[in-house]
Structure 1
Amino acid sequence: MTGARIEVRAAAGRARVAMSAAAGATFVPRLLERTAATARVALVAGGAMILGGDRIGLDVRVGPGCGLELVEVGGTVAYDADGRSSSWITDVTLDDGAWLVWRGLETVIADGADLHRCTRLTLAAGARAAVRDVVVLGRSGERGGRVHLETVVDVDGRPLLVESVDATGDHREPGVLGDHRVMESILIAGARPDDVSEPHTMALAGPGALARTLGSAVHDSPLEDTWNAWTSLATT
């Protein structure tokens, strides 16, 4: 597995940000800016991604009272795998009072791709996270390959969200994506929005909520206001 690691800790003057990437890593972190307790880090593609057989790992830790914003420079394409699967495993740990904002750009599942992506978030007491995820089945003119999405979120030692979604572009399952190509999800964990009555939004059984839409184009998303509100909640 080729992996990258990011860790943020408070320090006098400016936060201490430790970043590393294995040789040939798909993602290479780049520091954009920092304050005494916060950092803004870009995830830059280290090469063609995602190819059949790739095993991608991303490990993120944010220390007590610190904040991290992750920025994706461009979207991601899972290419025709020629029968080979690929995986992308992300582990995020937020210590007491830490926060994370990660506005993920679209991950496009091309014809013939077979991607397993797992995101695990572990939040200590008082930690908050706002994470956006967008999956697109197929490039222009394609139906798309297979994607298996797993999300596991624990807050203060208790499960908040455990979800598994399996979709294949040329075998659309009723009740999953149907005829839609785009699935956008926004998660807030560690804090509960005051209003969860908006369309596409549901409260979780704990401090958090999930918003999700299915559509035909990324630019048609109705969740921009939700993202802005939940980002503000996660960082205050």
Structure 2
Amino acid sequence: GGARTGTRGYIAFSSYLDIPVVMGSRSTNIKCKIGGFKGRKLEDEDYIGFRAKRRYLPYYLSRSLDLNEFDQEKVTLRVVMGPQEKMFTKEGRETFLNSEYTVTSEFDRMGCRLEGPFIAYKTTSDIISDGIAFGSVQVPSHGKPIILLADRQTTGGYAKIATVISVDIPKLVQRKTEQKVRFQAVSVEEAQKLLADEMKELNDFRSQIYTPCKEVLDCRLVAKRISALFE
């Protein structure tokens, strides 16, 4: 069926896919055509085996995960300011943090171009090319932010006013065209705490998946008693 929220879905497998390791990863970089399955998107009739005996997640269906955050028309993306925020005027930085921006159709795994108020820079937004982190917010000469994502280039020559924190990347990538985003500045320490809290939440969820629910335990007890009658 169609998606009820967000724009992207994920498939989870209960075993390990038999895909070669390239540079320490089994993921695919489609732009470079390396990794994954022949360095490309999957097509009809492609076949991928498993590296290990199939494993089951027998308790998974008894759990649920709240994904309501992806159902909001407007979201706030928390950012750590920098590394080139000083290249922008005070008014430009205030515009960035106090304005609403619209997700455009120019949105893929490389980045997301936003439409909205002009972010003023002091003299130029050009810099000597340097490294780009996941979630960097680049502002070219047209003054509109571009958030760089998983398949971003390794270096770039435009000033980066901020970086979207790790835990808020999913909020961005589930946005649809014409939906709105805003930005809120946080400290590095706040971003680290939020990431630690998210990791704990995911680990707790993992534990729930592998913990039998009461119904399963009751069924096991009944099966054990029935088995004992025939011994």
* TM-based fold match above 0.5: no
Q: TM-score, normalised by structure 2?
A: 0.20
Higher relative CO (Cα under 8 Å, sequence separation at least 6) belongs to: 2
| Larger proportion of strand | 1
| Larger proportion of helix | 2
- Structure with greater Cα Rg: 2
